[in-house]
Every structure is written in C-alpha cells, then in structure tokens.
C-alpha cells in the first residue's frame, strides 16, 4: 500500500501486474523479507513434486528463494526468475541459480521444465502472457502451480493497521480497501487464474487446492513481517513508524501475541501430453 502521487497513480488493485513500482519494491530489505515471510506448507510442495514428471523446477518471481529452497530440499533442481536484482542477489547467496528479468521478458533459450511454480508472485505477472509462456516452457505432462498465502490477521490487529494506513497514505488506491477481506475474494482470484490456464487450451482441467494452518506471532515478529508487505515497502520511515506503533499497541493490548489463521491457496494444472 505505497504512498503514490496523485498525478501519476499506479493501476488499481484489480491490475496488480501493471503496478511495477510496487512489484519491484520488495528488495528494499531482502534479508528482512527472507527472515520474516513464512514458508509454504510441506504438503503443498510434496503434492507438486509428486504430480510432476521430473525434478526440474522454474520458480517465477522467486524473490529471496523461500519456496525454491523448499523444492531444493525435496530433491529438485530449481532455476529462479526474479525482476529485482537485490532479491536475486540474496537468493544466489543462499545457493539458488537466478536470472534477473520479469517473466514476460525472460528468455528461456530453448529450456523446458517439469514444473513451473509461482509462489506469492503470479499477481505481478500479466495473466494472459504469463500463462501462455508457462505452457511453452513446460514439458509434456509438466505442472504449472500458482500459489500463495492469505494474509488476514484478526480484526483486533487489522483494524488499527487499516486506520493508521489511511492516515499516513490517503492517496494510495489501496487505502480505501476494508481492513479485512473475506477468504472468498482470494478464492475468486485463484479461480480467475484457473480460468486463464483453461483458456490456453494447453492444460488439462485446472484444480484448486487449499491448505489451512496456523502460526503464532509475537509483537516483534509481526512488526518485522509487516514492512515486507506490498502496502508498506515504499512508505517513508516516519509513515512506517506510525503504522507499526499503532499495530504494536494493538498487539500489546492482546497480551503481546496473536495467532494467525493462514490459508494457502493454489491453482494448478498439468500440461497436455503433446510437445
């Protein structure tokens, strides 16, 4: 939810792939991002690996390599594509091969993969161009898997955050959004991803997966994660401090910690068995 000048607004939240300043802002503190952001359910990774014809994975928008390292630990060979050189450098330092490019512009140079994954990143990719390109770089019976977490903290945390954000970033197109959005809005977004996959006619019928889990956060842990989210990566230090103070006070009033109910959603499909 960055503060944006009135005369040069970024696209609306309905077109996040066009909001390039936000999409490429997460590397401002790559180390914090890597340490604070949660990993993905082991069951999700295992299901992707088991449903793919081999171990070669292309990770679109790999960031610092959080998901990629999980696939590496499962025995996969992973190539990352990442538009932010700062994120790519961090991922390389952790043992991941990364090429710096937006996926739409990335040159596969004839390479193909058993799985193409996008972890918390597909909304930054053009949904039409990206899906067709993913099909092109997948081997027959290879799997495309688009997945991400639903970040919706309890109302006791979300409401003070939303109020503080509206104060410090009133010009942001995201400041008018409700403090908490229902899960079905996120599910509808993944249904649209599935529709785009289906429209290419190069995949078997897409599936939608759901994984529910919980994670407990202390005040410090949540305040460490918040600055890594897209709404806050471009705020001035004083704006960010005001928001973190408000959220920190709210968590203090809850006893200094809270439990987040996470849902990880996926839209996935297998490439048809034709070269």
- The pLDDT score that the predictor gives to residue 6 is 30
Q: Give the pLDDT mean for 184-199.
A: 95
Q: Of 223, 217, 227, 230, nearest to 261 (Cα)?
A: 217
The proportion of the chain whose per-residue pLDDT surpasses 90, expressed as a percent, equals 79
Antiparallel, parallel or unpaired: β 138-150 and 113-119: parallel
- The pLDDT score that the predictor gives to residue 273 is 82
pLDDT digits (tens, 9 = 90+) for 71-112: 999 999 999 999 999 999 999 999 999 999 999 999 999 999
Q: Give the pLDDT mean for 56-75.
A: 98
**Angstrom distance (rounded) from CA 203 to CA 210:** 20
Instruction: Work out the burial of residue 89: count CB atoms within 10 Å of its CB; fewer than 13 is exposed, 13-18 middle, 19 or more buried.
Output: middle
> What radius of gyration do the chain's Cα atoms show?
19
> Which contacts qualify for 180-189: CB closer than 8 Å, 24 or more apart?
180/152, 180/153, 180/155, 181/152, 183/150, 183/152, 183/263, 186/150, 186/263, 186/265, 187/265, 189/123
Residues in CB range of 223: below 8 A, 6 or more apart:
244, 247, 248, 251
Strand pairing partners for 269? 144
Segment (H or E) for 183: helix 183-199
What does pLDDT average to over the chain? 90
- The pLDDT score that the predictor gives to residue 177 is 83
**Angstrom distance (rounded) from CA 125 to CA 129:** 8
Checking if the pLDDT of 48 tops 90, the result is: yes
**Angstrom distance (rounded) from CA 231 to CA 180:** 14
pTM: 0.89
**Angstrom distance (rounded) from CA 185 to CA 174:** 15
């Amino acid at each position: 939810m960055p503060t944006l000048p009135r005369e040069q607004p970024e696209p609306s939240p309905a077109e996040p792939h066009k909001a390039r300043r936000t999409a490429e802002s997460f590397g401002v503190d790559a180390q914090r991002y890597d340490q604070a952001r949660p990993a993905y359910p082991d069951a999700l990774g295992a299901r992707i690996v088991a449903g793919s014809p081999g171990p070669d994975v292309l990770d679109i928008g790999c960031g610092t390599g959080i998901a990629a390292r999980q696939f590496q630990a499962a025995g996969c060979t992973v190539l990352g594509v990442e538009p932010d050189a700062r994120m790519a450098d961090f991922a390389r330092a952790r043992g991941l091969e990364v090429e710096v490019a937006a996926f739409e512009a990335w040159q596969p140079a004839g390479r193909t993969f058993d799985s193409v994954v996008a972890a918390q990143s597909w909304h930054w990719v053009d949904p039409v161009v990206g899906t067709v390109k993913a099909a092109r770089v997948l081997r027959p019976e290879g799997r495309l898997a688009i997945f991400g977490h639903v970040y919706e903290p309890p109302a006791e945390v979300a409401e003070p955050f939303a109020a503080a954000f509206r104060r410090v970033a009133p010009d942001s197109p995201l400041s008018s959004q409700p403090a908490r959005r229902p899960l079905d809005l996120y599910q509808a977004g993944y249904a649209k991803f599935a529709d785009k996959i289906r429209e290419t006619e190069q995949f078997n019928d897409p599936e939608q997966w759901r994984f529910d889990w919980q994670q407990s956060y202390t005040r410090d842990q949540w305040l460490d994660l918040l600055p890594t989210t897209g709404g806050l990566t471009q705020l001035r230090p004083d704006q960010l401090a005001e928001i973190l103070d408000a959220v920190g006070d709210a968590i203090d009033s809850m006893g200094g910690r809270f439990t987040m109910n996470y849902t990880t959603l996926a839209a996935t499909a297998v490439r048809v068995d034709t070269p």
